[in-house]
Amino acid sequence: MSQEKLLQNVQDIRPIILEHSQTAEVERQLHSSVYQAMERAGLFGMLAPKRFGGLELEPRTCLTIWEAVARIDGSAAWNLIMNQGIAQYAAWLPEHGVKELFAGGIPTVAGAFHPQAIARRVEGGWRVTGQVSFGSGCHHVQWLAMPAMEPGGAAPFAVFFPKSSGTILDTWHTVGMRGTGSTDYRADDVFVPDHLTAPIGPLKNPAPGFEGPLYRMWPFPNLLGEGIVSVGIAASAIDAAVELCKSKIPAYQGVPLKDQQLPQFLLGKAASRVDAARGALLVAADFCYEDVNRSGTSLSSEAKIKGQLATAFAAEACAEASRFINDVVGTAAIRTGQQFERHFRDLHVLMQHSDKSALRYASAGKLMLGLENDWVWLSF
């Protein structure tokens, strides 16, 4: 399926996403109709291997599609990216595990990799008990994943189990990105067979179908996707502000916003931040993809630095753009139910995500200086 067809599919489901956007805010999870519409549109197959009916698209193409979804609804785009990104970790499973995961078609998976659950060895597998946070989209997926470790064991590993075996909790009460449903979930003495466990670390022996560069650069397709969600939301805010400026005359002024220099100046600054963020992500995506294609192994330190810096910068720059937009639109930014206040909330929550918070600049800086890595996703 071409990029043009996927973009058209996104526009075709736009009315469904918009219809349920406010419902997602209230219910703190995507409406099932939105999730199903994205599945029907083929959007969950973008990162899946061609061997299993997926599209296995290059990261640049994925970012373009994800931004189009984020321009409509940031929470929908977030779930789309997260539930594809965790499914990519099937590359670490043995072949039997991959076949089970993909038995019903391209799977959707929610997962978090902290903290570790307790795993106790039993015949044929493990009994796993634990709870993780930030299970974005866990209400609608088929599978859940979490890290586990045997008491006194040498290293943690990832486990996959059907959503029906876990328990979804109600812990997602947030300022922004409410519709992502990024709540906690539990496993209580869940049996996980050996073939649904995977090591946590660089991809050394990919499962058949997962040999391509897209999987060797994991988790960076996912991380760069997180950054593009910020771009899509901020771009949507700019579009809305431009439309408002064409007609709004602020109280007590008598001069339309479009004719005032300060709104013109701030709109330009906001657009420059968003364009720079998008550009940084696309450059990093191309660099990372070419890096693993060339090496045939995992990402180089240079590629990881580029990817991490682009992701952190996108979140920061787009949040800054939303502050410029608020100064442009005035009281339209403070009214609940108006799109501007949701844009502002969502962008500032995204900036606090661990993958792209201010601390990640320091993580990239450590690699630049040849110091010991302090961030898990830079060790793959």
User: What pLDDT does residue 338 have?
Assistant: 81
pLDDT < 50 stretches in the chain: none
Kindly report, as residue ranges, where domains of CATH 1.20.140.10 are found in the chain: 217-378
3-state DSSP: the chain helix, strand, coil percent, rounded to 5?
55, 10, 30
DSSP 357: S
What is residue 1's predicted lDDT score, i.e. its pLDDT? Answer: 78
Structure-token pair, residue 139 = 């209400």
| Degrees to nearest 5, angle at CA 172 with 170 and 178 | 130
Superfamily for domain range 3-90: Acyl-CoA dehydrogenase/oxidase, N-terminal domain (1.10.540.10)
* 8 Å CB contact between 117 and 128: yes
Q: Residue 336's pLDDT is what?
A: 85
Q: What is the pLDDT of residues 218-244, one digit of tens each?
A: 999 999 999 999 999 999 999 999 999
Q: What region, left, alpha or beta, does residue 58 occupy, with left being phi > 0 and alpha being psi -120 to 50 degrees?
A: beta
Element (H, E) at 3: helix 3-19
Beta bridge partners of 241: none
* Per-residue model confidence (pLDDT) at position 187: 98
User: Are 10 and 72 a contacting pair, CB within 8 Å?
Assistant: yes
Tens-place pLDDT, residues 111-137: 988 889 999 999 999 999 999 999 999
CB neighbour burial string for 234-259, b if at least 16 within 10 angstroms, e if fewer: bbbbbebbbebbeebeeeeeeeebee
To which residue do tokens 């193409």 refer?
61
Q: Distance (Å, rounded) from C-alpha 291 to C-alpha 185?
A: 36
For the domain bounded by 108-199, which CATH number is listed? 2.40.110.10
Q: What CATH number does the domain located at 217-378 have?
A: 1.20.140.10
The reported pLDDT for the residue numbered 148 is 97
Helix (H, G, I), strand (E, B) or coil at 188: strand
Q: Contact, 186 vs 167, CB < 8 A? A: yes
* CATH 2.40.110.10 domain locations along the chain: 108-199
Return d(Cα 17, Cα 342) in angstroms, integer.
15
* Residues carrying CATH 1.10.540.10, the chain: 3-90
**C-alpha to C-alpha distance for 234 and 246, rounded to whole angstroms:** 19
Element (H, E) at 69: helix 59-72
Residue 208: strand, helix, or coil? coil
Q: Which of 225, 234, 90 is nearest to 160 (CA)?
A: 90
Amino acid at 110: A
Residue 212's contacts (CB-CB under 8 Å, 6 or more residues apart) are 49, 56
Residue type present at position 364? A
Closest CA to 320 of 292, 303, 301, 343: 343
Cβ atoms of 182 and 134 within 8 Å: the answer is yes
